[in-house]
Every structure is written in C-alpha cells, then in structure tokens.
Amino acid sequence: MFIETFFEKIKSALQTQACLLCEQKPGSASQFCGRCHEKLGIRPATPVIETPYCLGHAATTLNPMVKRLLYGHKFHNRKEHIGHLAGMLIQYWEALPPYYGFTSVHPENVLVMPIPPHEGNVSLIDQFASRFARHFGYDYRHDALAWMREVRPQHRIHDKQGRFSNIGQSLHLKSGIISGYERVIIVDDITTTGATLLEASRAFHNEVGNMSRQNDLSCLAVTKVPLGEQFRSGETEEEPDIRLKR
C-alpha cells in the first residue's frame, strides 16, 4: 500500500503543469494557478444566456488582464496569447456541472464549431477554439457555420436592438454537418448582448428542427463585455511580457 501510494504521488507530481500565465506556480486546475484564476476573473460555470434553444456561457468577466490577452490576439496578432485564451475556455468548461450533460457523452459525439470570420479575414477564433476541442477530444469543424450576407462589425453598434437587427438572419449551418452528434458547442471570442450567439443558435435550430433538450446546443465565449465597453484596435497597449510577477 505504501509503495503504491508513493508511486501515485510521484506520478501526480510529474503530471503537474506550470500555470499558463505566470509559469511558476503549478495550476490548481489544469490551466491556471489559483492566483491567476482570480486575476483572469474566470466565472463560476453558469450560463449568461438562457433561451429555449441555447445556453450561452462566458468563461470570464471583462477585466484588464483579459482585455490584454484577447485584444492583443485580436488586434495585434499576439499568437502567444492563443494558449491563454484556450486555457480560459478549458478551465471554465472543466468546472461545468454534470447536469449540463457533457460528461455523460462520449467526446466523439460532441462537435465544436467557431463563429466564422467575415469574407477576406482570417479566423482568429479558430486558433483557440480548435485547442479547446482537442483538449477534451471533441470533434471540430471550422467551416460548419457560414455567413449568408455582410453585416456591420457588432462593436460599432451601441444599442441592443441595433445589434440584433444587424446580425439577424445572417448565419447558415451547412446541411448534414451535425448529423450523429449529441451535443454541439459554438465558440466565440466576445459576447455582449448575445446577439451573435443567438443568431448561431437560430441557424442551428433551422437545421435540426425541434430539439429534445435545451442543452443539445451550448454557446461559449471567452468573455462577456458590457454594452458600451467594447474596445477597438487603437485602445489597447500591448506589453512585451504579461506574466504576473511574484
């Protein structure tokens, strides 16, 4: 018994990974240590949007550290932030209560898809959404959703109704792509009013018809941004090293 316990402790120690953000203290969960978890504002695993067709989640609350990571990637092509963004989604999702149904489903029966980029743009969401999917062993399709028409950038619209009007009837889910899957997760970088995620859920609903359960579809964003607090490319200053100092 002693020998078995000893080797289990060694195995556990070898499997411990450094925190993704500060790179020093081992993570209390799989991605970030307790201090960085708090600094990032990772939310309790509860939806921020609940409708008959979609549960919408946001991994973090908006704060300076999340802004620096997300907008550094979004506007300044800071590829080293991709792992941090995926880590926030992973740490949030790992805390999801069992009654949401994902732990009871084989990973190969879960499909992850990102909100697509607009024509001519590179998908930045794909870069961290695919890492999120790989961590859990979920299937991943970057091309499942597509735009049917041009829309204005949502961050330029500062009223809720205007956002819903702008994005309405704009997304299409490719036919047959979700056949055989029990759960679908749609990933975005930011949710404010939930308009984009709800438009994606409308496209999903049009493809599958009547769903048996609300949690057949879940939407997951990196952060929830209060309306009116959207940032643009020139409003963030990137630091050469964002690691927390001890």
Quick one: pLDDT at residue 23?
A: 82
Reported as a pLDDT band with limits 50, 70 and 90, residue 207 is confident
What average pLDDT does this structure show over 87-91? Answer: 96
DSSP 108: G
**pLDDT exceeds 60 at position 233:** no
Quick one: pLDDT at residue 240?
A: 42
DSSP annotation string for 154-215: GGG--SHHHHHHHHTT-EEEPTTTTTT-SEEEEEEEEESSSHHHHHHHHHHHHHH-S-SSGG
Lowest mean pLDDT among 15-24, 96-105, 129-138, 232-241: 232-241
Quick one: pLDDT at residue 231?
A: 53
- Whole-number percent of the chain with pLDDT over 90: 47
Of 208 and 18, more confident: 18
Terminal Cα-to-Cα distance of the chain (whole angstroms): 38
**pLDDT exceeds 90 at position 75:** no
Domains in the chain (CATH in brackets) are 31-230 (3.40.50)
Residue 90's contacts (CB-CB under 8 Å, 6 or more residues apart) are 30, 31, 132, 135, 136
Lowest mean pLDDT among 44-48, 95-99, 218-222, 226-230: 226-230
pLDDT in tens, 152-195: 878 778 888 988 898 999 999 998 898 889 999 999 999 988 89
